[in-house]
Amino acid sequence: MSGCYMIAGGGTGGHIFPAIAIGEALLAANAATRVLFVGTAYGMEKDLIPKQGHTLLTLPVRGLLGKSLAHKAALLWRVPASLLLSLFYLLRFRPKVVIGVGGYASAPLLWTAALLRIPTMIQEQNAFPGLANRISSRVAKLACLGFGEAGTRLRCPSIVTGNPVRKDFKQGGTWSADRPILLVLGGSQGAAALNRILPELLAGVLTPDMNLRVVHQCGKAHEASVRAAYEGAAFQVEVVSFIEDLSKLMDDVRLVVCRSGASTIAELKLVGVPAVLVPFPRATHDHQTFNAKSLAACGAARLIPETELPQAGPILAELLASSESLANMAAAYPSPGPDSARVCAQLVHDLQHKRPLNDILKEHAAHVS
């Protein structure tokens, strides 16, 4: 599977971590492969991609939804400039396949690649596709889906692969009730509502005899205020801006309270930790609620709307008091299935070698059945 591949997208960890996972799978298949990432200088990719030892090329494009009129006016030059820069990157590096993972940097590169007749593929993490992937699905050859429901809103053929998870995120061991950590996880950028509500909420739920330590990921911008909110707590607390090695920590987590971004859901499925999911209510098209319902429906998680979180103390107290309830939630997780990143990499290989799309779809359907 040699050659150069480009993976475009970013903004938040929900797009970046699946991109890294696919890139790592391509490199694992052939060390001679070159993987280039394309994003912006404004999203988290500017730090996360280089930190993983990968090359990041940037585009000046910015997001569209929910922005001011002046911001949208600036797109009059940012979008054409991004298309021209995409053309430059594509002609310079000549990728075999271009993969879009969502986020505003992905659409310009995919559309330009399609005009150059370079095979394109998208990977959609959420149950409700984002704008960039909906736009890109008009020119993509294939979509790899984290949730099957997303396929009805895309314009290209799709395969449910699950969401790629970073190679350092290993499948967890058997969950046990004596794990010492209650994890509050606000996503890659922190969650303002969880940061505001959880310190007071947990103060009314946790007691020293529970032998629980709270680890609260709050995002860099909120670290000082969250530390202050936990001052005087009657339980152990560790406040951190971001947890890079989350996989190792998960081995000690009894219960996690978190948002329901697609990457978070995929990682929870892999480690099998009981969860209380609080979807971000202003996520585009409420996709986090769509995501959360998939785990709540099978019994692996409780879904609590953000508006109801301040009154959720009794729910948390009930869960933490019942090892049986938590054990049943941990056991309810569906099997994580095949390695999604490796499956996506194989599909990239199929597109590179111009394998007939019908053959790809039939083979995958046979594996699923």
Instruction: Say if residue 346 carries a ligand binding annotation.
Output: no
Phi-psi region of 295 (alpha: psi -120 to 50; beta: other; left: phi over 0): alpha
Instruction: Say if residue 14 carries a ligand binding annotation.
Output: yes
Instruction: Say if residue 12 carries a ligand binding annotation.
Output: yes
For residue 85, which of 39, 33, 137, 35 has the smallest C-alpha distance?
39
Residues in a beta bridge with 120: 98
Q: Are 110 and 7 in contact (CB under 8 A)?
A: no
Instruction: Say if residue 289 carries a ligand binding annotation.
Output: no
Rounded to whole angstroms, the Cα distance separating 129 from 292 reads: 15
Cα–Cα–Cα angle for 238, 281, 196, nearest 5°?
30
For residue 339, which of 172, 159, 167, 122 has the smallest C-alpha distance?
167
- Cα–Cα distances in angstroms (integers) from residue 85 to residues 43, 63, 72, 204, 220, in the given order: 18, 17, 20, 54, 31
Instruction: Say if residue 126 carries a ligand binding annotation.
Output: yes
Instruction: Say if residue 243 carries a ligand binding annotation.
Output: yes
Q: Are 54 and 23 in contact (CB under 8 A)?
A: yes
Cβ neighbours of residue 330 closer than 8 Å, sequence gap 6 or more? 175, 272, 273, 274, 300
CA dihedral sign of residues 274, 275, 276, 277: negative
Rounded to whole angstroms, the Cα distance separating 71 from 64 reads: 8
Strands (E), the chain: 4-8, 34-39, 55-58, 97-100, 120-124, 142-145, 158-160, 181-185, 213-217, 236-240, 253-258, 275-277, 301-303
Rounded to whole angstroms, the Cα distance separating 108 from 124 reads: 16
Pick out the residues of the known binding site: 12-14, 126, 166, 188, 243, 288
Pick out the residues of the known binding site for UDP-N-acetyl-alpha-D-glucosamine: 12-14, 126, 166, 188, 243, 288
